[in-house]
Structure 1
Amino acid sequence: MIGAPVFIDRIGKAYGSQTAIGAVTLDIPAGEFLSILGPSGSGKTTLLTMIAGFESPSAGRVIIGGRDVTAMSPDRRNIGMVFQRYALFPHLTVAENIAFPLKMRGIRKEFRAERVDRALDLVQLPDYAKRYPHELSGGQQQRVAVARAIVFEPPVLLMDEPLGALDKKLRESMQLEIKQLQRRLGATVVYVTHDQEEALTMSDRIAVMARGELAQLGTPADIYCNPQSAFVADFVGKMNFLAGEFSNEIAGSRTIRLGDGVVIDTLGAVAGFAGSAKIGDRVRVALRPERLALAARGAGGKNVLPGRIETSVFAGSFDLHIVRTDFGSGEIIQVQIPTDGMREPFATGTPVDVIVERDGLRVFADAEG
């Protein structure tokens, strides 16, 4: 299987006066795994169904493998589709379910068996051909759905939250299996999910959607470490936000006043700020919990935020400390410290300093909300 490029050219969708998708452009190279990530109502599934041909765009074009398929029916686009609800035929065996797309395409019976066997091998179910869907676990049914989608070797696979019905451990296992399968096949995958960890784990790039618009497009590391808006920073991963205002600027590094005499130096890391900043402008400081450290009160130095331990939770690989600040309106800050089994946990009420790592913050205009 060789993947095909997909080009979404200023595609839009409106239902009457309501805009669901507004002029989105995506250029997806052949063989890429692109996840479309966003909350409910962001337009990600609508975008996928327009690529598939189940919805007609109000504007723009869909181009697959260099062909304009905007006006083509789904069955002529030569794409594989995997849904959250596996949509397996209950009265057909696993082999018959997988062979169904081949039968619809007029592939002769003697050639269908070989392709079905190969697809079953790829999803690691070689001995399940004669079983029926009700005899399979949820994970096995999902693998059959994937096998059915790839059996006719489509250059593009569309997946609409295919792992949403699985439990956490099985979902994580299937994430890796689907990614490895995609790499072996070389197919282009467009994958819709609302699960940020899933998108970070599986994707070559991520398209973050918000209110029908493309909020940011980039690699998982870029989306996580360099969010370009407060929305992306808040939606992808955990994030603390503190309100403040610009109070000074020296050699490109801005000082932000957080209240009650507490200031924080951006240390030059203001790339996330949208717009030109002036002294007195209200801003939001974004801090990743894992980019913070804790010390007993009096640590001194730059970028130290005083507070008190409100509670601490053991979370396996890290300890989660909830700190209530001693400035402003007493905001809550979450701090994740890797578990090493050596440290005694901070007792509730202990005065502490939250230490912000260099380049461990982003700054956004307060108007972003």
Structure 2
Amino acid sequence: MSKRYFVLLAALFTLVGCGKSTTATPNQTEETISETKDISTSSEATIVSEKSIMYSMDGIEYSIPESWTENIPSETTKLYYPTNGMLMVNYTEMNASITDDVSRQGFIDNFSSSWENSELISESEFILAGNKAYRHEMNLATAGKEFKGSLVTFDYNNGVIYLLMATLKESGKDFSKEFENILSSINISDEVLEAQAQAQAAAEAQAIADAQINDATKIVLGRAITIGDYIVTVQSIGKGTDYEGNNILVINYDFTNNSDTEQMASFAVNFTAYQNGIETDSFLMSDDIDLGIGQKKIKPGTTITGVQTGAVLGDDSVLTIELDELISFDDLVFTIEVDPTSF
């Protein structure tokens, strides 16, 4: 979120936060309701009790005291006004996670800089609607007015949600109880939670893949590896069965002979698999592996594709596969971790 955006919101609070909103009150809004809708672009609401109204925004539901008036300056920002106070609910896209210390500090610095004066009193971490959230108690000032601010942030749907409860200091009002009730009422739809979990899993998998790509000693599918006088490109890793019905790991790779003499792939490079820290059995009798391809002689400068090797799987635990030169005077080893349950 840009500093300019925060500045606009601070200015908006100064202009209308302590006065009466010109938008419909929740009770007036209720009269026009015909069905439940997402009000990321609408101000519709549903009465849940005589004292509060349930609102929704982009898959999030939360209850607001019915006496607080509502204003919607944008599709991703909603404002609620008790007398001498304001609650802001905002969603914004954000590339980094608010759980990252550096990103969170940058967010707070950006927010604080939009006010004429700001003082951070405390930061605390807690769980909100199943998400790790952060609360910042602050003193804020703009346009000659001083406010008590409570800012709550948490990751949401490839971005961040923040709720700011700001109260005019000179009024002596205290909306902390109402704010706690609002936070406690927050509910995130199952669809959004599932999407967030999938996005997180994808991000973690991508981070692992990126780390492997950036590590020259890691085996990355489709990436050529120079090892001694040879080039090996692991194209795929999958599952098969041997003649006894046991599960086996099948490694498919291409081999280029850049030495001065003819060579066989199986006698030039070696794959070793470890499961639970123990080397697996590499003696395979299976229709799913053709060991003969790796035993064909190839001339210097020639590439043979579809070379196969494998290992017996003892169970479904993660394997570490190591690739090295069969006869070598160095300790260069390339590795990859494989989860058999992913096939």
TM bracket, shorter-chain basis? under 0.3
TM-score by length of 2: 0.21
Q: Which has the higher contact order (CA 8 A, sep 6+)?
A: 1
Normalization by structure 1: what TM-score?
0.20
Richer in strand (by share): 2
Based on CA coordinates, which of the two structures has the bigger radius of gyration? 2
